[in-house]
Chains A and B, each alone.
Chain A
Amino acid sequence: MSVLGTSIKRREDPALITGKGKFTDDFSVPGMLHAVMVRSPHGHAKVNNIDSSAAAQAQGVVAVFTATELEATGIPGVIPTVWLLPGIKTPAHTLFATDRVRYVGHPVAVVVAETIHAAHDAAILVEVDYEPLPAVVDPKAAVADGAPQIWDEAPNNIAFDWELGDKDATDVAFAAAATTATLELRNNRILPHAIEPRAALAQWDAENGKLTLTMTSQNPHVHRLLMTIASLGLPEHKIRVIAPEVGGGFGSKIHHYADEAITAWCAMQTRRPVKWTATRSETNMTDAHGRDHWSTAGIAIDADGKIVGLRIDTHAAMGAYISTFAPAVPTWLYGTLFSGQYDIPAIHVHVLATFTNTAPVDAVRGSGRPEAAYAVERLMDAGAAAAGLDPVEFRRRNFIQPDAFPYQTQVALAYDSGNYLPALEKALAAADYDALRADQAKRLADSSGNAKLLGIGLSSYIEACGIAPSAVVGSLGAQAGLWESAKVRVHPSGSVTVYTGSCAHGQGHATTFSQIVSDRLGIDVDQIDVIHGDTEEVQFGMGTYGSRSAAVGGSAIVKSLDKVIAKGKKIAAHLLEAAVDDIEFEDSEFKVKGSPGQSKAWGDVVLAAYLAHNLPEDVEPGLEETSFYDPANFTYPFGTHIAVVEIDRETGEIELLRYVAVDDCGNQINPMIVEGQVHGGIAHGLGQALWEEAVYDESGQLLSGTLLDYALPRAHQLVSFELDHTVTPCPHNPLGVKGIGEAGAIAAPAAVANAVSDALISVGAEPIDMPFTPEKIWRALQEGGT
């Protein structure tokens, strides 16, 4: 029986549960030095002078470097932006800040010392003469008259101004609508918070001019390429990037940062291995942050309760510099999702992206899609209220119908498949929606007025995963292709090693990819190894993000397996003296169709390929195939989530009572791993909705820079999630898979927001925005509650 679709246990786990998994900071090598960055403590300041003489003379210090020394070596020395938009401003993001600092955390110097203690001690001896400047940290305030100017080349702090859809048609729809609803929305800034902080160990082989960089990466080949073309200038083949075990990423380890490049450069300068490991505070200051939008959103509805138009105007913070893939996040990963699961004839999206004196904002789990789902699903509830309909009924009336696929939205995307009502129905049944509404009404009718409020929130989200095809993303501004590669090496004895360009950091690729191979070749999973995360071993890879690994990376493996089988068929046909077209491969045997008993076992054909004693004329020896798979379209996972919250009217205290999730990620390779991904995504989304917020003060200080003041969800605050699924396979990839890593983070914020709004509105209070802290809820109840 095939293992595809079964919940086999993860092969990754034995090392990880016994402490033998090796993460970047776990590696130490002889002669290794330690690097500590000296970072800007100001959100915005002129740098008049840096005096590193005292630090340089401190005990154990080998070197102190600043931009001056780095520039003198003539390396490119910048962090590039690799997604460009028309008119975008991309000021040079130098590894070290030079004459001006624009956010707290940008390195101004690095201390390299024999021990980590010596490096830390000396770092505080680096004297930097700063002249603080006025700062602006809010994307809306950044474009106000008189706002501090962050870059001369970006008047009014505008990084880019982007729109999608048909403004005129949308305006007409709103003017003619029977009813409309408008919302002011805040999408709070969040910190990615992989539990493993970023780290790098650089080893420089001066004799061969070769750098080996072990680092926390979701995409080692991309990091290597960016090191070559923008940061270090070393030839690409002279850099080996290794991502060993990576302790979570959530987007933060996609991006290219100064610290890893500086660490590598320090190793080249000192000709000794150098290790840098971020503290949690450093990670919070410098990892690219997520979200940070202010929006005005509207929905227009006709007399039948059908949506006729939807529009949104968004201010998006980009931070002080434009990070690696940042331009795509509030644009093509955001504006394109505004049709949601609904048939909407007119849509207009406008985004004004601004520089702010904060850490750069880039992809964080969901990346644009949570922000879109938040707006669309909040509008669905507001629209339902305006139309006098239950939120469930309003969604039902507006779903794209199953026979409408492929469905061309008004915001560029063409959905390939979907069937939205069954997921909604399943979620309603699991939650027992009618009983919840009855409970809610009973509490409201309680004459004591002391009953806790019940809030029920739906989120019928859609996402677009596995961004593709490459030609399309290129036309949208990507300076990269978004295909994936896979090499399948069949060994002479019939076992297999797969080299994948996907790069797992918790997703369990080694397990799921071996299931794909086992299914296609009919060999045991124990006969299959999966290699990833090393530029020296893997041909090339675009990496793991955007829920792309199964749909794109997995499909690349299938493509290579198909080539292996095709070659095997040729060899088998030759050995069996049959026509190639008559050979079928089944249960690990090459068989002649209609001739029982006429067959060659997998192992015999593989061995024949390597012995090469008797091969057809046009067949080369060996059995190894490489593929570069470029998908035909995005994939479109969807589902409906339902959050149930309880609110104490006296204190504003909020408790998550239940969370129901019905997701459709197409076919499932390993349901256990799929569910695990859903759990984690939900928790991420619940964190944003209920607790998490990165807060900067007016001068650009990050006030929530440690775990003392940034509230990550903890076990006692969450509940066990109630999961189910529907299966609508992706029609354009060979596995029929769509991706599931981000679904929860996309769906959950809106589900909770709608639940909180539901509770507040039930007593006449106004909806509020995330995070839904007791204080905010209490204030809303005081101001508007009855």
Chain B
Amino acid sequence: MRVTISVEVNGTKHEREVETRTLLVHFLREDLGLTGTHVGCETSLCGACTIHMDGLAVKSCTQLAVQADGAKITTIEGLADNGNLHPMQQAFWDEHGLQCGYCTPGMIMAATKLVEDNPQATEREIREGLKGNLCRCTGYHNIVKAVAAAAKAGAPS
């Protein structure tokens, strides 16, 4: 069955017909061509697909596209402001918070929300806050440093 949904993604409104079983992540990647959001697993455990939806960080592989009807979504492509990197993106670059870059979009989206919710996050709180996102390259060491640096810089959301 196909239904029509209306979503706002990175400030642009889209009205598309989707198969009801289409996952939100596949809608973003295949229908809208926003391939910055990645898929790393099928059990909602790796976090590579993390986006912002209506003010929450959500795993877009665990949402159906139809559930996003009427929602406002930000993906990694929409995080920078007119070409100016978001402080979290800048911190990941400055602190070598990424290697292969596959988990990075989801990690950055989760981290921006983490810092928005807890601007004074301690290392322990950052580590707890990122436990839904897997990285195999960095051992999280520099990711934690990056998130702390972004928090310190007073990262606006």
Which residue of chain A lies nearest to B83 when distances are taken between CB atoms in the complex?
A: A18
Contacting residue for A715 out of B77, B98, B126, B137, CB 8 A: B126
Tell me whether A716 and B131 are in contact (CB under 8 A): yes
Which residue of chain A lies nearest to B92 when distances are taken between CB atoms in the complex?
A: A17
Which residue of chain A lies nearest to B21 when distances are taken between CB atoms in the complex?
A: A117
| B117 located at the interface, meaning its Cβ lies under 8 Å from any Cβ of chain A in the complex | no
Once the chains are docked, how many angstroms separate the CA of A9 from the CA of B142?
A: 13
Tell me whether B100 and A506 are in contact (CB under 8 A): yes
Q: Is the interface of A mostly helix, strand, loop or mixed?
A: loop
Q: How far is the CB of B3 from chain A (nearest CB, A)?
A: 15
Contacting residue for A673 out of B40, B96, B134, B140, CB 8 A: B96
| B108 located at the interface, meaning its Cβ lies under 8 Å from any Cβ of chain A in the complex | yes
Chain B residues, Cβ within 8 Å of A707: 41, 43, 45-46, 134
Chain A residues, Cβ within 8 Å of B130: 714-716
Tell me whether B98 and A26 are in contact (CB under 8 A): no
Please tell me the size bucket of the interface on A: 35 or more
Chain B residues, Cβ within 8 Å of A342: none
| A65 located at the interface, meaning its Cβ lies under 8 Å from any Cβ of chain B in the complex | no
Once A and B bind, how many residue pairs between them come within 8 Å at the CB atom?
182
Chain A residues, Cβ within 8 Å of B40: 195-197, 247, 280
Once the chains are docked, how many angstroms separate the CA of A194 from the CA of B143?
A: 17
Once the chains are docked, how many angstroms separate the CA of A28 from the CA of B35?
A: 10
On whether A676 and B99 interact (CB within 8 A), knowing A194-B136, A707-B45, the answer reads yes
Q: How far is the CB of B46 from chain A (nearest CB, A)?
A: 6
Chain B residues, Cβ within 8 Å of A718: 127, 139-141
Tell me whether B38 and A247 are in contact (CB under 8 A): yes
| A245 located at the interface, meaning its Cβ lies under 8 Å from any Cβ of chain B in the complex | yes
Tell me whether A25 and B39 are in contact (CB under 8 A): yes
| A680 located at the interface, meaning its Cβ lies under 8 Å from any Cβ of chain B in the complex | yes
Tell me whether B100 and A505 are in contact (CB under 8 A): yes
Which residue of chain A lies nearest to B89 when distances are taken between CB atoms in the complex?
A: A17
Once the chains are docked, how many angstroms separate the CA of A13 from the CA of B101?
A: 8
| A379 located at the interface, meaning its Cβ lies under 8 Å from any Cβ of chain B in the complex | no
Chain A residues, Cβ within 8 Å of B85: 17-18
| A272 located at the interface, meaning its Cβ lies under 8 Å from any Cβ of chain B in the complex | no
Interface string of A1-40 (1 = CB under 8 A from B): 0000000011011111111111101101000000000000
Once the chains are docked, how many angstroms separate the CA of A717 from the CA of B98?
A: 19
Interface string of B120-137 (1 = CB under 8 A from A): 000110111011011111
Contacting residue for B100 out of A247, A281, A673, CB 8 A: A247
Chain A residues, Cβ within 8 Å of B99: 248, 506-508, 676, 680
On whether A17 and B100 interact (CB within 8 A), knowing A9-B93, A684-B136, the answer reads no
Chain B residues, Cβ within 8 Å of A438: none
Tell me whether B75 and A245 are in contact (CB under 8 A): no
Tell me whether A720 and B144 are in contact (CB under 8 A): yes
| B9 located at the interface, meaning its Cβ lies under 8 Å from any Cβ of chain A in the complex | no
Tell me whether B141 and A679 are in contact (CB under 8 A): yes
| B37 located at the interface, meaning its Cβ lies under 8 Å from any Cβ of chain A in the complex | yes
Once the chains are docked, how many angstroms separate the CA of A479 from the CA of B131?
A: 43
| A682 located at the interface, meaning its Cβ lies under 8 Å from any Cβ of chain B in the complex | yes
Tell me whether B101 and A247 are in contact (CB under 8 A): yes
Report which B residues bind A (CB closer than 8 A). Answer: 19, 21, 29-30, 34-43, 45-46, 48, 75-77, 79-80, 85, 89, 92-94, 96, 98-105, 108, 123-124, 126-128, 130-131, 133-145
Q: What are some 16 contacts across the A-B interface (CB < 8 A)?
A: A10-B96, A13-B93, A14-B93, A17-B101, A18-B85, A194-B102, A195-B38, A195-B48, A195-B136, A506-B101, A506-B137, A675-B96, A676-B138, A706-B43, A707-B41, A714-B134
5 residue pairs, one from A and one from B, having the closest CB atoms: A19-B36, A247-B102, A16-B101, A683-B139, A506-B100
Report which A residues bind B (CB closer than 8 A). Answer: 9-10, 12-23, 25-26, 28, 117, 193-197, 245-248, 250, 279-281, 505-508, 672-673, 675-676, 679-684, 686, 706-708, 712-718, 720-721, 744
